[in-house]
């Protein structure tokens, strides 16, 4: 059952919004966490996306380790390292979001620069994670001998690629 929701204007004139019907469905499915501090600030939008996707990527490292119970120890170790790194990136992202909220969007240029550096770092972090996922698919016997592992890892890779695309798109608006 689809619930109709009247959406507030949360986008700049350069950002093409989803239709209200699609947006309402995405909110109903829990895919969008609405925040109302954006204004014209694309940087704020990308921080919200980062909070969500870094949490997802952290959980994905656990999913891979659970699905591929016979995964090689070297890959297990690297996945654990990424789990911690994603949690740290998410934590810093949340702190920046709280700073934006407390300052009512009045951010000093040096703080804005730090936020942009974090976004670039998060994109690079996801790219490195994708390289690890590709390596697991290519080199791990656990992935090669179990089609379910391959399907899960490929799905997770596509989701990280999706985050990179979203982040780059929002920043280019």
List pLDDT tens digits, range 3-57: 433 333 333 333 333 333 444 444 444 554 444 444 456 888 899 999 999 999 9
Q: Whole-model pTM?
A: 0.76
Two tokens at 135?
A: 């390596």
**Which pLDDT score, from 0 to 100, does residue 137 have?**
98
Residues 28, 53 within the same domain: no
Top-confidence residue, 43 or 124: 124
Give the mean pLDDT of the chain: 82
The CA–CA distances, whole Å, from 116 to 55, 90, 93, 166, 167 equal 19, 14, 11, 15, 11
Q: Would you mind telling me the total number of residues written for the chain in this entry?
A: 173
- Cα-Cα-Cα-Cα dihedral of 125, 130, 132, 134, to 10°? -170
- Give me the domain span that covers residue 10: 1-34
Residue 15 and residue 74 in one domain: no
> What pLDDT does 40 receive?
54
Domain total of the chain? 2
Q: Which two tokens stand for residue 145?
A: 């001998």
CATH of the domain at 153: 1.20.120
């Amino acid at each position: 059952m689809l619930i109709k929701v009247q959406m507030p204007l949360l986008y700049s004139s350069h950002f093409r919004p989803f239709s209200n019907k699609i947006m309402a469905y995405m909110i109903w499915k829990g895919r969008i966490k609405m925040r109302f501090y954006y204004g014209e600030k694309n940087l704020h939008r990308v921080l919200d996306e980062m909070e969500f996707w870094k949490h997802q990527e952290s959980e994905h490292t656990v999913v891979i380790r659970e699905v591929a119970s016979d995964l090689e120890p070297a890959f297990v170790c690297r996945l654990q390292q990424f789990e911690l790194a994603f949690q740290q990136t998410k934590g810093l992202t949340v702190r920046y979001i709280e700073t934006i909220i407390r300052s009512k969007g009045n951010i000093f240029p040096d703080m804005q620069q730090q936020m942009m550096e974090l976004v670039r770092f998060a994109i690079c972090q996801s790219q490195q994670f994708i390289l690890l996922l590709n390596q697991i698919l290519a080199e791990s016997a656990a992935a090669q001998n179990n089609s379910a592992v391959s399907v899960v890892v490929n799905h997770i890779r596509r989701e990280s690629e999706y985050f990179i695309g979203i982040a780059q798109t929002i920043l280019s608006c």
